[in-house]
Structure 1
Amino acid sequence: GSGPPGTNHKVMKRAFDDGWGAVIAKTVSLDAEKVVNVTPRYAKLRAGANGSALGQVIGWQNIELISDRPLETMLKEFKQLKEEYPDRILIASIMEEYNKAAWEELIDRVEQTGIDAIEINFSCPHGMPERKMGAAVGQDCVLLEEICGWVNAKATVPV
């Protein structure tokens, strides 16, 4: 899925240069100004007896939000990557508020860059639930069905 390896052109270019066949870009939305990211962007994942979160560190989890970079910047970088690596797969990850017109606009804009597919981000657990984004949608079957319908009706690339 999307995440830090799809943060920007430089990072995605490095992945392609290192032989990756595909990259899923960091999730974008129409208005990045509403995104206030956290630092540090990783949290310790702990496991103790009986599932306690107070045990030893067993890994790390990404607690970064969706991209806080302007959509126009990300779109420019998607287009540039597709020009530089036409044989590689670039997947745009998208997330938007519960608004059909906004979803349709975002789909149009990412598709215009030449991306190969779309990932719909319905799993981000810290993705602005007050705006019905991320896991707030992924955990609501009615919203999920409706938004998936909008996206699948609009998109011309695989979703």
Structure 2
Amino acid sequence: MQQTSDLRVMIVEDQAILAMELELVLGDAGCDVVGCAMDRASAFEIAERERPMLALVDVNLLDGMTGPQIAHRLVSEYGTAVIFLTANPEQIPDGFAGALGAVSKPFDEQTIRAVVAFARRFILTRTVSDPPRRFRLAPWLTTPPADIAPH
């Protein structure tokens, strides 16, 4: 039985077949896919119109390595949680541009479902649960609070 659609998700991916696959997997996972973008301009157009709660963002898009810029703006201006999908994890900026983490391509349906469940928990509770397998958690989520950090 499909769960209710409580998560508005945007896909930012320039490989059309992969974007369609993600759309099917997300729909089956109970997500409401509000749009698919292949570049920075269309990503911001969709974000402005739809206000997604979560975005799956490739690092390299039709207009170059714009994924980190898209992620940063989605997080800072729209409060969107972002997960990078990339074949080149070394291209993710040090601070992950505010993204929750990254999944390396190629990935499977089980990984995407687990990552979306992780993101859903984070969005709803602002807590970090155990990250799914094959998911690289952003450093800003794993840094201990200042009061217990070594001096």
Does TM, scored on the shorter chain, surpass 0.5? no
* TM-score for the superposition, normalised by structure 1: 0.38
- Structure whose CA Rg is larger: 1
